[in-house]
Amino acid sequence: MASIWRYILAGLGLAALLVGIVAAVYLTLPQSASGPDLSRSKKTANGLFVASFEPERGVVRQGELQSWLLTLKTAAGAPVEGAAITVSGGMPQHDHGLPTSPQATDYLGQGRYRIDGVKFTMSGWWQLHFGISAAAGSDSVVFNVVL
Amino acid sequence: MRRIASIASLLALAALALLGGCGEPQFSDAEKKIIASLALNTLPSLKPDTTNQYGDVPAAAALGSTLFFDAGMSRDGTVSCSTCHKIDRQFQDDLPQAVGVGHTNRRTMPLAGVARNPWFFWDGRRDSLWAQALTPLENPLEQAGNRAAFAHYIKKRFGERYERIFGPMPDLSTVPANASPLGTDAEKAAWNAMPAGQQDDVNRVYANIGKALAAFERSIEPEQTRFDRFAIDLATGAKPEGDAAFSPEEILGLKLFIGKANCVTCHNGPRFTDNAFHNTGVPTVDGLPPDRGRVDAVAQVEADPFNCLGKFRDGDESACRELRFMVKGGPQIMRAYKTPSLRGAASRPPYMHAGQFATLDEVVAHYSKAPLSVEGVSEVHPLDLSDRERAALVAFLKTLSE
């Protein structure tokens, strides 16, 4: 009888050791590719502007037409006024574009532009590309949104 | 020693129980979250349609219901909305293509939850439920009527009911018996001879017919299914009992639906649709006219005088953002069709926009194989599902009809 329990104890000990090794390997593995850059504020491609992009009401809801705010500042921090903005985008992993055609509809002051008509119809990785033309010149920026 | 042995035995049993999983369905937290998002209890209450101020007026819904089933609402008195939208068949007709006065080129869509759509018809050529309801009335292959004749008919048959809802009926005494900007040459000529004010009067009565029909259709909502009962039990941690319990095959099908088969990419939310348009490589049908889907619907919805930006809308223009921000061109809308809801789909073959597939097995086989589109680019990629996996997907889809 006692010998059976000894085997079970030994088995449990081995199992624990195995779990420990697996955990150690898992924790010390280099982090896999961390996915797209999800920052909501960044320099534009040529460094002309600093752009911030966030939902006007704070939350992203799948399947709803939403307005977002694109805030543009110069590298020195001054608000960018009178910018002409084009919007495009899509899902890089699905080879398709946006389900709507968002547009810059209003200038709200302090470099803030309302981008209306944004809709994310499915979960996954979305990209929004902005072309920006202002007094300082033309530049572009890409924001990633993952649902 | 005995105490150590009994502790060890308890530990061993616990380890076995963990490894064995107690036979419960195993869903990851991410899977559980997706399953919960598909359940009917997450469907929000229906928002008012501000473009139709009569949308939630009971008398309007009652008149709409009368008109929906009235074959008098057609050129020859034989076709009503309910001819194709059959009340005992999920408001569809089981045919590959609808048959009204003539043979159409599209499959009749069911109506459960229709008031929640941003776009109507397979290609979204209308942008509100009331504007949609007007379209078959004048389509020569469907009800084949004309708006002047409908205005006269409403005044004669339902004048009192109409006026109690919409106010005084205009003077129609000099309006031709048959006239429409979309009708036969004679009807078009009669329409063009009418003064603009009279055209407006007739269009107003016509728009109100659509608003009454829409008020009725707003009451048609999806019903709870086996899947919803399963999903609620999974979310609350209750053990599914009776028909809420899924077979291993149904569980595999659900896992594939939200996982490897990527169905949930487009068939998402409690209505199993993203309300968007996609080219999924569905084949053409011999003998039907060319059909390019969404790409040809854009100009139609823009030209529709009853669209959200037109003068027959109630409320303000803020309701028109779907129309304002729609995609108007580009390769992605070529042969793109609206993602249909999958609720009730298993009990209403045939499938796709022109009834191309007779069974769900054929539908799943199509998505597994993912053939190239005859025009434009299909968004789906081959899945190479096994026979067992395809059967499991079909088994899961049936839980949305039971």
B141-199 pLDDT tens trace: 999 999 999 999 999 999 999 999 999 999 999 999 999 999 999 999 999 999 999 99
A13 touches chain B (CB under 8 A): no
Residues of A in contact with B275 (CB under 8 A): 63, 121
Q: Which residues of B57-92 are buried (b: 16+ CB within 10 A; e: fewer)?
A: beebbebbbbbbebebbbbeeebbbbbbbeeeebbb
DSSP codes of every residue in A111-134: TEEEEEEE---SSSEEEEEEEEEE
Distance of CA A88 to the CA centre of its chain: 16
Supply the ipTM of this predicted assembly.
0.86
Residues of B in contact with A11 (CB under 8 A): 12
Distance of CA B170 to the CA centre of its chain: 34
If you ran DSSP here, which 8-state letter would residue A30 be given? P
Strands B337-338 and B277-278 come out as antiparallel
Structure tokens at B207: 């728009």
Contact across the interface for B268 and A63, Cβ inside 8 Å: yes
Most B-contacting residue of A7, A8, A118, A122 (CB-CB within 10 A), to test interface: A122
Asked if residue B267 belongs to a known ligand binding site, the reply is yes
Is A96 a residue whose pLDDT tops 90?
A: no
Whole-number Å distance between alpha carbons of B154 and B164: 13
Quote the pLDDT of residue B20.
Answer: 43
Cβ(B397)–Cβ(B341) under 8 Å?
no
State which H helix or E strand residue B284 sits in: none
The torsion angles phi and psi of A121, rounded to 5 degrees, stand at: -90, -10
Contact across the interface for A8 and B9, Cβ inside 8 Å: yes
Structure tokens at A100: 């709507």
Most A-contacting residue of B42, B274, B294 (CB-CB within 10 A), to test interface: B274
Which residues in chain B come in under a pLDDT of 50? 1, 10, 12-22
Residues of A in contact with B11 (CB under 8 A): 12
Q: Is the C-alpha dihedral spanning B225, B230, B235, B239 positive or negative?
A: positive
**CA neighbor of B322 nearest in space, from B42, B49, B27:** B49
Q: Closest chain B residue to A104 measured between Cα atoms? A: B325
Quote the pLDDT of residue A7.
Answer: 77
Residues of B in contact with A87 (CB under 8 A): none
Domain B23-43+223-292+334-398 matches domain B58-217 at the CATH topology level: yes
Quote the pLDDT of residue B21.
Answer: 44
Nearest Cβ partner of B326 from A5, A100, A121?
Answer: A100
Quote the pLDDT of residue B257.
Answer: 98
Contact across the interface for A15 and B330, Cβ inside 8 Å: no
Contact across the interface for A12 and B1, Cβ inside 8 Å: no
Quote the pLDDT of residue B9.
Answer: 53
Quote the pLDDT of residue B3.
Answer: 54
Cβ(B64)–Cβ(B215) under 8 Å?
yes
Distance of CA A132 to the CA centre of its chain: 20
Cβ-proximal residues to B314 (8 Å cutoff; 6+ apart), any chain: B50, B51, B52, B53
Distance of CA B352 to the CA centre of its chain: 12
Quote the pLDDT of residue A25.
Answer: 53
Q: Which residues of B134-167 are buried (b: 16+ CB within 10 A; e: fewer)?
A: bbbbbbebbbbbbbbbbbbbbbeebeebbeebbe
Cβ(B338)–Cβ(B122) under 8 Å?
yes
The torsion angles phi and psi of B169, rounded to 5 degrees, stand at: -75, 135
Nearest Cβ partner of A97 from B1, B15, B330?
Answer: B330
Please give the sequence-ordered ranges of beta strands (E in DSSP) within B233-368, or none if there are none: 277-278, 337-338
B contact residues 311-340, partner A, Cβ 8 Å cutoff = 321-322, 324-328, 330, 332
Distance of CA B125 to the CA centre of its chain: 13
Is A17 a residue whose pLDDT tops 80?
A: no
Could you confirm whether domain B58-217 is CATH 3.90.45.10?
Answer: no
Quote the pLDDT of residue B19.
Answer: 45
Task: Kindly list the domain boundaries of chain B, sorted by start residue.
Answer: 23-43+223-292+334-398, 58-217
Contact across the interface for B321 and A2, Cβ inside 8 Å: no
**CA neighbor of A136 nearest in space, from A52, A43, A49:** A49
Cβ(B97)–Cβ(B103) under 8 Å?
yes
Quote the pLDDT of residue B4.
Answer: 54
CA distance B353 to chain A (A): 20
Contact across the interface for B8 and A5, Cβ inside 8 Å: yes
Contact across the interface for B379 and A94, Cβ inside 8 Å: yes
Please give the sequence-ordered ranges of beta strands (E in DSSP) within B8-66, or none if there are none: none
Whole-number Å distance between alpha carbons of A6 and B90: 65
Cβ-based contacts under 8 A for chains A and B: 69
The torsion angles phi and psi of B393, rounded to 5 degrees, stand at: -60, -45
Asked if residue B320 belongs to a known ligand binding site, the reply is no
Burial of A5 (0-12, 13-18, 19+ CB in 10 A): middle
The torsion angles phi and psi of B318, rounded to 5 degrees, stand at: -65, -15
Burial of A32 (0-12, 13-18, 19+ CB in 10 A): exposed
User: Which CATH superfamily, name and number, covers B23-43+223-292+334-398?
Assistant: Cytochrome c-like domain (1.10.760.10)
Quote the pLDDT of residue A95.
Answer: 78
Quote the pLDDT of residue A32.
Answer: 45
Cβ-proximal residues to A63 (8 Å cutoff; 6+ apart), any chain: A119, A120, A121, B268, B269, B274, B275
Look up residue B193 and give its amino acid. Answer: A
Mean pLDDT across the stretch A65-94?
Answer: 96
